[in-house]
Amino acid sequence: MAGFICIITESLPAGLLPQIGEGLEISEAFAGQFVTMYALGSLLAAIPLTAATRGWRRKPLLLVSITGFLVFNSVTAVSSNYALTLAVRFLAGVSAGVLWGMSAGYARRMVPEALKGRAMAVAMLGAPIAMVLGVPAGTFLGALVGWRYVFAIISLLAALLVAWVFWRMPDFPGQAAAKRLSLRKAFVWPGVRPVLLVVLLWMLSHNILYTYIAPYLARNGLGNRVDLMLLIFGMTSMAGIWIIGLLIDRMQRLLVLISLAAFALASLLLGIGASQPAIIYLAVAVWGLTFGGAATLLQTAAAAAAGENADVVQSMLVTSWNLAIGGGGLIGAVLLENLGVYSFPWVLFILLLLALFLAWRAKEYGFPSRKL
């Protein structure tokens, strides 16, 4: 539920730009900064705040993060001041940065060693459900009753989640001061850098295509099928999470290599089969299947490589992820303006081959071929 609230809070404004612009009497471009400020908050806060709160008990820290969503979405729902709304969007992103930084370690500590990967898969379900169902439903509801009511509903969900966590969630101690690595030592810990580089390359590839899927499809005569393509992508992503959840504890490394290779193959299909709608549908389905379990695979690899320093390394993963989101939008824009959409698949193919090579090389640490 926390992941669901994070993602829907981040992504919902993109589907409600006209309504937000009208409500605050600003342009859609200014309304688009709702997304920018949230991402900026996550990017800037994830590492320093996760490092600063390593000693906090886990349950109080989780409650503080979720309460942040309750407060900041409530202010968004009632504010008529653009500057104030941007400020609370930034603070909501800060809450997300802290929450994503601690979620992997928290989920893994609730279960026995043999179920840690599956626990991650379950804990990550909220994010794709938000993308597949939450954002479209929120967009529809926002157009029907107004965008402020949607943010109020998200605040209500956060309030219910606070009560649920307080009632049912187990608590765990923070990390003892004597066991905390510095940020620099955590970054150079064996296996951490390969995982972070694979995160950056994999998500950069994804975001170049995902951000500009509409112009790519339009150039190939499928401009009126964007909603269908995104539905296919979303449904196969859900299937990907289910498959990864079943198999991750037995074959994590192989799943990473298969996912990257399959995504590279899908990008190749998008490049050579652009004139064939059936091939594009197939490629999008494969892309979604590989993306669905990516967060679980990468967060599990980062947590395993980091050991007792999982939370601070997860914050580095969050930073890499957000850099990839911003970088995908920027690089995709440059490619679109200078080389056109037909360059996308080939750039993706190169990036994914590099990610595949790095993951394959990291067979001792990062993506080990055996339990360490």
Nearest by Cα to 154 from 195, 96, 205: 96
CATH class of the structural domain 183-361: mainly alpha
Mean pLDDT across the chain, nearest whole number?
A: 87
The pLDDT tens digits for 245-287 are 888 888 889 999 999 999 999 999 999 988 899 999 999 999 9
Tens digits of residue pLDDT in 84-138? 999 999 999 999 988 987 887 788 889 998 888 788 778 878 887 887 778 778 8
Give the global pTM. 0.78
Would the CA dihedral through 54, 48, 204, 285 be positive or negative?
positive
The pLDDT score that the predictor gives to residue 372 is: 43
* CA distance readout (Å), 269 to 61, 172, 262, 284: 45, 47, 10, 10
- Count of CB atoms situated within 10 Å of the CB of 269: 19
pLDDT in tens, 172-200: 887 776 565 566 776 677 778 899 999 99
Report the alpha-carbon distance of residue 340 to residue 362 in Å, rounded: 34
Average pLDDT over residues 288-295: 90
In the CATH hierarchy, which fold is given to the domain comprising 2-176?
A: Growth Hormone; Chain: A; (1.20.1250)
For the chain, what are the domain ranges?
2-176, 183-361
For residues 266 and 290, the answer to whether their CB atoms sit within 8 Å is yes
- pLDDT tens for each residue of 53-72: 888 899 999 999 999 999 99
Q: State percent of the chain over pLDDT 70.
A: 95
Q: What is the CA radius of gyration of the chain?
A: 20
Tell me, what DSSP letter sits at residue 191?
Answer: T
pLDDT digits over 341-360, tens only?
899 999 999 999 999 999 99
Tokens of residue 199, six digits: 């995160």
> How does pLDDT run across 295-327, given as a tens digit for each residue?
889 988 887 887 766 677 877 888 888 788 778
Q: Do domains 2-176 and 183-361 have the same CATH topology?
A: yes
